Each structure stands twice: as C-alpha cells, then as structure tokens.
Structure 1
Amino acid sequence: MVVQLGGEPIMPIRVGFVGVGGIARRHQRYISAMEDVEIAAHCDLIPDRVDAAVFEFGGEGYLDFDEMLSKEKLDALYICVPPYAHGEVEIKAARAGIHMFIEKPVALSLEVAERIAEEIERSGVICSVGYQLRYHKLIPRIQSELSSGPILLFCGRYYCPFPPGGKPWWHRKSMSGGQTVEQTTHIIDLARYLVGEITEVYAYAAMRYYKPTPMNDVEDVTASIFKFENGAYGTLTSTTVMSSGWHIEVDIIVPHRRIELIGDTLRIRDGSIEEVKVEEDWQGEVDRAFIEAVRTGDASLIRSSYRDAMKTLAVTLAINESAEKGEVVKVKL
C-alpha cells in the first residue's frame, strides 16, 4: 500500500501480464519502478518464463489465462503475445472491465481487430497500444519543425538482424505477418502520427538472401512507396539481413529543410546543421502514460488508441497485399 503525504492511503494499481517474453520484461522493469503499481500476476505458456518473471518482480504465476482471470483482481493487463494470438485474451479482459496495454501489431487481420475494438468500446476500458515512438522525447521538436509545412516527403528505414530461432512464430508469415506487420509497423505508425493518413501503397518484397523453408517464409527485403491523404509521398525500406544492431531512421522533407531522426539524434538541415540529442531513457514514457491514464481515468494521455492502431495495421496489410499482387492497393480503413 502506498500512503500519500496527506495520510490517505491509496491502493496500488494491480497489473497482470499475458506473455512474459522479452518485450514484456522491458515493460515490467519500467512499471516495477513506479510507486503506485504492483505487478500481481504473470501468464505464459512457457513455465520457465513465468518462474523467471515471478522471481524478478513478484506476484503469482499462471500457465492458463482463464485461471489468472478468475483468481486475480486486476486493474490493468499488459497483452504481450505474438501477433497470431491476439483476439480472445483482449475480448475476455474487456468483458471483465480490465484496462489494457496491447503490444503491436494488434492483430493479423482487420476482422479480428474489429471484434476486439467493439468489445473495448462496449466496455469503456482504457486501451493503449505499444507504439512507443510516439512518446520519443524529440517528437515535439519534430512536430514544431513540421508546422511550417507543407510536408512533401517521408522516408523511413528499418534495418535489423534476422530474429533469433527462439521466436519460431516470427519466421512464419501466417503467425507474425512478416517484418512489415511485426517490426516496420513502428515506422508506418510514426509516419501517420507526424504526416497524416496513408491512402494507397505499392510494394515489393522478397526473400533475397535467406532461403525459404517450411519453417521460414518471411521476406528479408521490402520496399514500398505510398501516398498520404494530404498529398505528401512516402518511401519505406526494411530488411532483416544486418549482422547486428537496429537501424531505425526517418527523413522528412519540407521546403528548404530536411528533418532527420536516427535513433536518439535529430538533425535539422537547412543550409546549416542543427543537431539535438536525447541522453535520457524515454522508452518507458509509453508505460507511464498508460499507468497514469488508468490511475486518473484520463484516456487523453494515450497517444495510440486501439482504433488508431488499427489504421496502422491496415497500412501494413496493404503493403503485404501489394507486394503479393504487384499492384497499387488502397488502404482499406
């Protein structure tokens, strides 16, 4: 129990986790440092993961979500499951009146996502989706630079190594959606947040380096172009053939100025170069915003709602469809 300075006790926000792999552990480390939060329960299909999470953060461990839901009184639930597993967990949590933080992508189809969205809206619970780039410390400065407009061009890049074999679901497109849906979605979401809605796409994607096998059919290179509703154009390239490191980069062009975001460094080029760096760790801001929204009931603190995240999903699915069909695809949402 946490006690306020005025002497009035407040109960901590009780948080559960479904899926306690790598991304969940990062969220757990951030929220475990918050005074008014208790990590009460962990659920995963892999017992060793559950045991490790309980050992590090306390709380109860479960291998069955329904059992956790019936035994634990939770205020909030982090849903950190693979893309193919979204659906019933969210629906059951919404019906139980539990606020949710859902890791991206929110689903592998708009049909599943729509079912979830309807339950969230029916229940009135707060829901945040894990597009943490919206909370980057440099975003306000970028938005200020873009306000002079018009925005002409957005160029994004997402280059990383092939995910390790410990994630067999990632290598199956039917389970992960491929790199565009599962990883590059962060860049697409940032493009929407900074520039505007994307209306149509054209894409190429192929396995140019890795060989297809029954256990791996995810393209290792993708290139796409797209058009924004406001008339701006965009390009996006991604690959999984790097030997190490994640290279997440964005260039935005407005008249006489280039705005370049590479990791935690912003460069503004307009004949001279201004460089701004962020030293502090900002990636927990998405967690702080969610917990504060749950604590206060103020959903306006959330920068990526479920419905909004569905629009990002729609763009990623359109890119996959375009690459498969070899034609321009209109974004369907």
Structure 2
Amino acid sequence: MSTVTIGVIGAGLIGRKHLRTIANHPDFNLVGIADTNTDLASSQYPGERIFADYTHMLDQTKPDAVIIASPNQVHAEIGIACARRGINCLIEKPVTDTLEAAAALIQEVSRSGIKTLVGHHRRHHEQVKTVQTLLRDGQMGALVGVSAIWAAHKPAPYFDAAPWRAEPGGGPILINLIHEIDFLRFVAGEIVAISAVASNRQRRLPVEDTAGALLEFAGGAIGTFFLSDSAVSPWTTEQGIGEAVEFPFSGESSYRFIGSHGSLEFPALTSWAQAGRTQDWNQPIQAQRLFAKTVDPYAAQLDHFRDVVRGSVPSLQPVEDGARTLIATLAVTEAAILGKRIDLAERYEALATNAVSSPVHL
C-alpha cells in the first residue's frame, strides 16, 4: 500500500518524540513541520519543510494526516482546521484544554468524517492489553477494587524550564494523573464518580503537589489513587514499565487490581490466586508471573494510526473518548477544590449532546 503523508504540528518535547518515530517508520512520509520557532526547528530538522503557520503547512503540503503536538489550548483550533480540510488527526493528550473546546472539536470531526486518535500512548502497551483482557474476561472474578500510586520528585529545573508548571493547571493532576485516569478507564471500565483532596504543602506553590482520589467505577469497583510529584518512590508507571528514558527503570508495580477470585499487580503482571480459584482465606495464595512482550508504545501507536487512516481498523480512542478522560480528570481537581463527590453521568451525557461546560479549566 502507498505511504501515508503526514505533518507534525509542534516540535517541542513530545513533537520531537513523534518525529523520531516517524523517521523510523516505513509507512509514513513526513511532508512538513509547523512550529512557531522556525529557526530552532530548521536547525534540528535540516532538509525538512518548516512552517511558522500550521495552516500554510496544511494548505501547501495537503497531508493525509497530522500529529498535533502543540500547546493544549490550541488543540481544538488546529483539530477543527484539519477537520475542515479533511485531514486525519492524532491529537496529543489532553484532547483539548476545556470541555467546551472538546465539544466544538467533536462536532466538527463528526461533520467532516475524518479519523481521529487521541495520544494516550499507554493504551498501546502489550502489558496494558493483557490487563484489559484479564479484567474483561473475568479471569479474576468480579473487579472489587484498585489501589494505585504515582509518586516521583520533580527537580527544580523542571519548573524553571516552564514556569507555567508552578501555576494552576500545571500540577500532577493534569500533567500525570490524566494518563492514569485514561489507563483505568481503558482496562477497568468507565469512572462514574470521583471524590478527592489535594495539597501544596511540600512546595507551597499555587498548584497542587500531592493529591488523593477515590474513584467509583460503573461495574461497582472502588479505586484509590495517591499522586505526588514531590515524593521519592519507585512507584510510577514510567519506572515500572520502562517506557521513558527520563525515568530510571524500577520494575516495581504501582497498581493492584483486586478481584473476587484473585488479584493482579501491574506492570509486573504478577497474578495472585488460591489453588483451584477457591475463595477461602484459610487457603494459601499463590503467585504466577504472566508474560507480555515490551514494545515502544509510540511506535505501536503510530502503527495503529496508520491502520486507522487507511480505514482497516476503528480508532482505539477517537476524540469523543479522549474527552471523557478529560471530564474525569478535571473532576479530580474540582472535587478537591469543592470538597465534594462529583457525579460524572450528566457530564458524559452533556458531552454526547455537545452541551458541556468546564467547571475547571486546565
């Protein structure tokens, strides 16, 4: 089959990761890069067509698809521009910065019929697919609960390099927890209500550095999540699965899925059950290590995007689903601010009818 022509909008940290992946993929032909810092982009990618204005890139190169890796607040604007030109999109997370913007984007995508994929790359790990299969096939019985941690200590240069990270919207809820919320929605089912607390006690910045969330799932399971970017631990998905060179590998599990007939640690994929799948606390519990091959999730994501663009598979996460992850993540911040339980059912319904509003902005 012919190669897919593709452009990349945004040549920052995540944009460069996508560009490296495209360079090593035989089924894509890079036709342009759009970034406001054209001098830097030109020096980093000599020989490529560089555009300061993404609309010029879209109109002059007419790609089959684009990857939108721009700042969050222009995701919707760019996605809408692509939809109106019939250009398929992979949009980095979060899908947009507000729910109103997400609704506008969804409406335009629906009108145009383009293919979309939201860049929650963890869905493409083989370990993640294994967890999803085990939970949905009922191999651990009914899911009763989830216990999870994401805790790492971000150094001072992290904030110095991007001062907005020290302001509301730049904390671990909307930078890190959004990945975990999407992962949980993907493997454990829809999150229907959230309660939360947050603190800035460690750094005393205007943004949270620590939070705790209570998650209620559609199937009746209850989850707890501890989150901090001001604590040293080996318990993050990045360290446990080895998906990012910025995080030293630990191999430790930061998730425990607890079922009526057994439990599972992730990402180590250690399964715990009693012999014969009995349910007797007097019987010993045995461990079994499961195997799933390790893949580059960005390469696997690009493979999937290729197939989506070609029309051979449905999107693993179209913009509508990415917006549901945004709704649940924003609700953590809102629940912590208001000190109350947030029911998400009406918000999901409003999203479906394009009548949403954002109580909390990214």
* Common fold: TM-score over 0.5: yes
Matches within 5 A, 1:1-333: 10=2, 12-55=3-46, 58-146=47-135, 147-148=137-138, 149-162=141-154, 163-174=158-169, 176=170, 178-212=171-205, 217-242=206-231, 247-248=236-237, 249-262=254-267, 265-270=268-273, 271-276=285-290, 278=292, 280-283=294-297, 284-294=299-309, 296-300=310-314, 302-331=315-344, 332-333=347-348
Residue type at the aligned position of 1:318: A
CA distance in structure 1 between the aligned counterparts of 2:29 and 2:163, rounded to whole angstroms:
32
CA distance in structure 2 between the aligned counterparts of 1:131 and 1:103, rounded to whole angstroms:
7
- Determine if contact 1:83/1:182 at 8 Å carries over to the other structure: no
- Determine if contact 2:42/2:48 at 8 Å carries over to the other structure: no
- Determine if contact 1:133/1:190 at 8 Å carries over to the other structure: yes
- Specify the SS of the correspondent of 2:126: coil
5+ unaligned residues in a row in structure 1: which ranges?
5-9
5+ unaligned residues in a row in structure 2: which ranges?
238-253, 274-284, 349-362
- Determine if contact 1:50/1:62 at 8 Å carries over to the other structure: no
- Determine if contact 1:202/1:322 at 8 Å carries over to the other structure: yes
Deviations 1:172-208 (A, max 9, x none): 325x4x3222221111111111111111111011112
CA distance in structure 2 between the aligned counterparts of 1:114 and 1:206, rounded to whole angstroms:
31
CA distance in structure 1 between the aligned counterparts of 2:72 and 2:147, rounded to whole angstroms:
26
CA distance in structure 2 between the aligned counterparts of 1:299 and 1:243, rounded to whole angstroms:
41
CA distance in structure 2 between the aligned counterparts of 1:104 and 1:328, rounded to whole angstroms:
25
- Specify the SS of the correspondent of 1:41: strand
- Determine if contact 1:156/1:187 at 8 Å carries over to the other structure: no
Alignment: residue pair count: 312
CA distance in structure 1 between the aligned counterparts of 2:64 and 2:318, rounded to whole angstroms:
18
TM-score (ref. length: structure 2)? 0.80
What is the RMSD computed on CA atoms of the aligned residues? 2.0
Shift of 1:278: 4.8
CA distance in structure 2 between the aligned counterparts of 1:86 and 1:144, rounded to whole angstroms:
32
Shift of 1:82: 2.4
Q: 1:242 to 1:44 in 2, by over 3 A?
A: farther
Bigger mean CA deviation after superposition, 131-140 or 73-82: 131-140
Q: 1:20 to 1:244 in 2, by over 3 A?
A: farther
Deviations 1:3-35 (A, max 9, x none): x7xxxxx3x311111111111222222222221
- Specify the SS of the correspondent of 2:133: helix
Residue type at the aligned position of 2:30: I
Residue type at the aligned position of 2:272: R
Shift of 1:139: 2.9
Bigger mean CA deviation after superposition, 46-55 or 323-332: 46-55
CA distance in structure 2 between the aligned counterparts of 1:206 and 1:327, rounded to whole angstroms:
15
- Determine if contact 2:51/2:57 at 8 Å carries over to the other structure: yes
- Determine if contact 1:226/1:233 at 8 Å carries over to the other structure: yes
- Specify the SS of the correspondent of 1:93: helix
Shift of 1:242: 4.1
User: Aligned residues: percent identity?
Assistant: 27
CA distance in structure 1 between the aligned counterparts of 2:218 and 2:235, rounded to whole angstroms:
30
Deviations 1:85-129 (A, max 9, x none): 322111111101110000101122211100011111111111000
CA distance in structure 2 between the aligned counterparts of 1:48 and 1:172, rounded to whole angstroms:
29
Shift of 1:83: 2.1
- Specify the SS of the correspondent of 2:62: coil
- Specify the SS of the correspondent of 1:183: helix
- Determine if contact 2:198/2:208 at 8 Å carries over to the other structure: yes
